[in-house]
Amino acid sequence: MTVRLQQAEPVRYSRILGLGAERGENVVTNDDIAGPIDSSDEWIRQRTGIVTRRRAGADRDVLDLAEAASVKALAAAGIAPADVDAVIVSTVTYFAQTPSAAAILADRIGANPAAAYDVSAACAGYCYAVGQADALVRSGVARHVLVVGAEKLSDFIDPTDRSISFLLGDGAGAAVVGPSDFPGIGPTVWGSDGSKATTIRQTHSWSELREDPSLGWPTLRQDGPTVFKWASFQVGQFAQQAMAAAGVKPEDIDVFVPHQANMRIIDQMIKQLGLRDDVVVGRDIAETGNTSAASVPLAAERLLAEGQAKSGDIALQIGFGAGLVYAAQVVVLP
């Protein structure tokens, strides 16, 4: 060894500098979708808390949603696209194996030649990507990272499916993560359990479709009660670990932003976590539906935009879903 390498200079702290949100433009009511699943507005509201879901039209794909949310997040953060060093997109509804959605998105928003890659972590994907962005910024590998959770789940549903399709909506949420004078992103508590890979799943793989075209376009399914039980009673411990890792107590949390899977899961989690009575809770699911990787940033952005939460609030966010996967962290809202 004749030379000594330089390594990137670490940065002390990171935070979320700005959030952006984009929802599908069409408001889809429970009555609109209840027929093929022999259900009703009352049944769906009572079991899920969903009143409407937002879905995008045929002329907008997941990249269009991601682009709109990204432009808003950069504006909110006050960061020029050219100053973005890395773009991370979490999605399960970009239907091309390669190249990545992130590379195309980076170019579209003017962040070319930023590093760009996709992550596949379903409903936990945004929190996974925030964890990565935090690590990239603090390690000095990237200065500004654009994180986007984007889904057009209406391309991945079966109108006759009673397990999950009726919950799902389309949208994108984006965050710009960058250097900070104060600690703005607590340690990410994340993990997976692939032994439960079939509890939320694609009906058949693309290679199975190639073998048997009569199978048709794959769609999503879940074992609803099993997922409900896991999400309601097992996932909360990861939120508790994230609070402990960040050195905060449940009573320090101003805002709780769980993945918007089901209002009853959200209510069960609140009961377990011992949060303050006046904690502000993301309940965007009522109007937007479950948007998988987009749901946490959409819910957080909404609370800020509507004035229920404010810049500087301490927020506990957690994503969980197909994998099974989960990720949680405590953040300071931008």
Partner 1 sequence: MANTEQEILEGLAEIVAEETGLPTDAVVPEKSFTDDLDIDSLSMMTIVTHAEDKFGVRIPDEEVKNLTTVGDAVKFIAGAQG
With CB under 8 A, what is the number of residues at the site for partner 1? 13
Measured over the CA atoms of residue 117, residue 120, residue 122 and residue 128, the dihedral's sign is negative
Alpha-carbon span 116 to 94, nearest angstrom: 15
The rounded distance, in Å, linking the Cα atoms of 18 and 46 is 34
d(Cα 129, Cα 125) in Å, to the nearest integer?
Answer: 6
Choose, from 30, 123, 127, 262, the residue flagged as catalytic: 123
Residue 259 bears catalytic tag? yes
For partner 1, which stretch binds (CB under 8 A), given 6-14, 176-184, 260-268, 304-312? 260-268
CB atoms near residue 289 (< 10 Å): 29
Tell me which of 127, 144, 259, 262 is the catalytic residue. 259
Nearer to partner 1, 25 or 193 (CB): 193
Site string for partner 1, 193-232 (x = CB under 8 A): ------------------------------xxxx-xx--x
290 is catalytic: yes
Q: What angle do CA 111, 116, 120 make, to 5 degrees?
A: 135
Instruction: Choose between 271 and 276: whose C-beta lies nearer to partner 1.
Output: 271
Query: DSSP 3-state assignment of 19?
Result: strand
Number of H helices, E strands in the chain: 11, 14
CB nearer partner 1, residue 13 or residue 228: 228
Is 22 within 8 Å of 258 (Cβ atoms)? no
Are 77 and 334 in contact, with CB atoms under 8 Å apart? Answer: yes
Residues within window 47-66 making contact with partner 1, judged by CB under 8 A: 47
CB 232, min distance to partner 1, A: 7
CB atoms within 10 A of CB 171: 33
Nearest distance from C-beta of residue 203 to partner 1, angstroms: 20
Is 30 noted as a catalytic residue in this protein? no
3-state class (DSSP) for residue 168: strand
> Contact letters (x/-) for partner 1, 264-283, by CB under 8 A?
x---x---------------
Helix (H), strand (E) at residue 176: strand 170-180
Among 29, 40, 46, 198, binds partner 1 (CB under 8 A): 46
- Whose Cβ is closer to partner 1: residue 187's or residue 224's? 224
Q: Which residue ranges make up the site for partner 1 (CB under 8 A)?
A: 46-47, 223-226, 228-229, 232-233, 262, 264, 268
For the annotated catalytic residues, the residue numbers are 123, 259, 290
